[in-house]
Amino acid sequence: STPGPVTDDTPVSTLIIKPKQKIVMLGAPEEDITSLQQAAEVAPEIQDDLDIVEEIDPPLDQQPIIQERLQRRIASVEPKILNPPRPGKKLLVLDIDYTIFDLGSAAERPEQLARPHLHEFMSTVYQHYDLAIWSATSMKWVEVKMKELGVTTHPDYKITFMLDHKSMLTVNHPKYGVFDCKPLDFVWAKWEGYHKGNTIMFDDLKRNFVLNKGNGLVIVPYRKSHRNREVDRELVYLKRYLMVIVERGEEDMSVLRHKHWRRYI
């Protein structure tokens, strides 16, 4: 049949695509997946997070350009706030992709890609920690993912806030090049109750902690969920770590050597 004018309702399958013409499927997560995987591939590898800041003089977090960018983010970006902070609680900031979710695998249902023991972990640590999500993707993806995984609708815990790439900061590291990181100072500027002493962030990428190396815990990436669904117990052990920190009455979490958390429990 002769194609009519193209409207919003025109099925993609009926469109006549010229050779080399690019089409973008709006809302298709594959777009995000591809760009994320490409980003992950070109991302510089960082050998040891303990060395990152000391090597540079002045340290990255004291460089005026970094401070300037940070202040701009703080002034212009609003977090997605879901629930009020609870006085006296510590703060756990969680990355999504490969930290609590296997981005690289296919499954029939999204919850099959959730890291095992996720809800049990969240429900338990919620007793003492406010929970936040910080992903390098877009807020739309964050919202969809968290809903699909049942994180934002769970009856036993609540998410305090969510952040996306807009709150991240580009740094130029003399050794590791240009990349975006997650500056916790953004969080500490937005909320009075959260500070260096009561915040911990889990991420599978060390470079995300480059400005806050004392507050980051590098989690083993969760991949190949079809194979690891039955065996991955990281969140069971990390739940214990977070609870031991509380039981021992640790006042300043930034002085704990999170790198050795397994030894600590």
Q: What does the CA dihedral 37, 40, 41, 43 come to, rounded to 10 degrees?
A: 160
**Which listed residue (49, 95, 130, 164) binds Mg ion by CB under 5 A?**
95
Check binding of 98 to Mg ion (CB under 5 A). yes
* 90-98, 139-147, 193-201, 209-217 -> range binding Mg ion (CB under 5 A): 90-98
Residue 8 and residue 6: Cα distance in Å, rounded? 7
Scored b (16 or more CB within 10 A) or e, 146-159 reads: bebbebbebeebbb
Dihedral, CA of residue 69, residue 75, residue 76 and residue 82, to nearest 10: 120
Residue-wise over 60-80: b if at least 16 C-beta within 10 A, else e? bbeeeebeeebeebbeeeebe
Shortest reach from residue 113's CB to Mg ion, in Å:
13
- Does residue number 180 form part of the binding site for Mg ion (CB under 5 A)? no
Task: Find out whether the peptide bond into 29 is cis, omega within 30 degrees of 0.
Answer: no
Pick one of 49, 61, 97, 102: the residue that binds Mg ion (CB under 5 A).
97
Which of 70, 182, 79, 181 lies closest to 139 in space, CA to CA?
Answer: 79
| Tally of helices (H runs) and strands (E runs) in the chain | 8, 8
With binding defined as CB under 5 A, does residue 204 bind Mg ion?
yes
Number of residues that bind Mg ion (CB under 5 A): 4
Considering only the stretches 125-133, 141-149, 204-212, 255-263, report the one whose residues sit in contact with Mg ion under the rule CB under 5 A.
204-212
Of the two residues 173 and 182, which places its CB atom closer to Mg ion in the complex?
182
Does 164 sit near Mg ion (CB under 5 A)? no
Candidate ranges 92-100, 110-118, 141-149, 228-236; the one touching Mg ion (CB under 5 A): 92-100
Instruction: Write down the least CB distance from residue 264 to Mg ion, Å.
Output: 23
CB of 90 to Mg ion, least distance (A): 21
Q: Which is nearer to Mg ion, 110 or 197 (CB)?
A: 110
Binding site for Mg ion (CB under 5 A): 95, 97-98, 204
